Amino acid sequence: MDHHRYLIVNADDFGQSPGINRGIIEAHERGIVTSASLMTRWLAAGEAALYAKKNPKLSIGLHLDLGEWICRNETWTPLYTVVSLEDKAAVEREVYRQLEAFRYLIGKEPTHINSHQHVHMREPLRSVALNLSDALGIPLRNLCPAVHYSMNFYGQTHDGQPVRMQISLDRLIETLSTLPKGLTVLPCHPGYADDLNTMYQRERAEELKVLCDPRLQAAVKNFGIELCSFADWKILRTRPIHYTG
């Protein structure tokens, strides 16, 4: 049995805006981010893809984008929608259109799949995304038995209320201190979101600051955690993997 502790730190929303790209790149070069998920529909996707091609240590997955919703007065309303989430045929067409865009931009298959605001957790996208992940042999967030992830590092509640303490340096170090043996995946959202209309905005810069803090990198080393990416998944998938959410 492998007794090492492995950690994939995956930044979502790569390509959504120049500010998001800048933050993710900083978090990779100066921090502990090892992987990113690309949104192919946005104008900054080409810029993100160019960086990824020049920096293969950052593994790149597909961040399926079918819309974004914001909670106002206890009601979720759309900031934008791409297709109806109830129309399976439209959902499937859009998923494969985004996959083809990913292949065109990156020049290879994604290393993993997830979705904006976790919409793949509900049907019909759930089945479409599962079929795609099975066909490609890559993990789909929270629906692959070999991979789990932690939501300990996220600065809002389920209804969009801020909880900044969850993205503090102390909170993240505490999470790392109790990391179990095997592989853990930590999603994150670093970036500068002043150029983007999004429900998760100020929190991104706060995440970035923590992810680049030298004390965090020291903690990773002191706890004996080995940073890796989804590019290593096929090797690590046979080893014990744990959920920390």
**pLDDT tens-digit readout, 207-223:** 999 999 999 999 999 99
> DSSP letter at 231?
G
Nearest to 38 by CA among 92, 96, 82, 99: 99
Query: Token pair 């990779």 is at which residue?
Result: 28
Q: How far apart are CA 95 and CA 83, in angstroms?
A: 10
Residue 141: per-residue pLDDT: 92
Token pair for 95:
């998923």
| pLDDT, average across residues 162-179 | 92
Kind plus residue range of the DSSP H or E element containing 72: strand 67-72
Position 228: which residue type? C
Q: How far is CA 227 from the centre of its chain?
A: 15
Q: Is residue 243 part of a domain?
A: no
Q: pLDDT digit string (tens) for 139-161?
A: 999 887 767 788 889 988 877 78
CATH of the domain at 29: 3.20.20.370
- Residue 245, pLDDT above cutoff 50: no
Q: Is residue 210 part of a domain?
A: yes
Number of domains forming the structure of the chain: 1
> DSSP letter at 18?
H
Q: Is residue 242 part of a domain?
A: no
Q: How far apart are CA 92 and CA 26, in angstroms?
A: 34
Q: Is residue 244 part of a domain?
A: no
- Residue 241, pLDDT above cutoff 70: no
Provide the pLDDT confidence category of residue 120 given band limits of 50, 70 and 90. very high
Q: How far apart are CA 225 and CA 243, in angstroms?
A: 15
> DSSP letter at 120?
G
Residue 28, domain extent: 5-236
Query: Which regions of the chain does DSSP assign to beta strands (E)?
Result: 5-14, 35-38, 59-64, 67-72, 75-81, 113-115, 182-188, 225-228
Q: pLDDT digit string (tens) for 58-113?
A: 999 999 999 999 877 778 889 899 999 999 999 999 999 999 999 999 999 999 99
Q: Is residue 135 part of a domain?
A: yes
| pLDDT, average across residues 11-40 | 98
Nearest to 116 by CA among 133, 101, 106, 129: 129
Q: Is residue 245 part of a domain?
A: no
Tell me if 225 sits within 8 A of 179, measured CB to CB: yes
Residue 55: per-residue pLDDT: 97
- Residues 6 or more apart from 193 whose CB is under 8 A from it? 17, 19, 20, 200, 201, 202, 204, 205
Q: Is residue 52 part of a domain?
A: yes
Answer left, alpha or beta for residue 186, where phi above 0 means left and psi between -120 and 50 means alpha.
beta
Q: Is residue 80 part of a domain?
A: yes
- Residues 6 or more apart from 146 whose CB is under 8 A from it? 139, 233, 237, 241
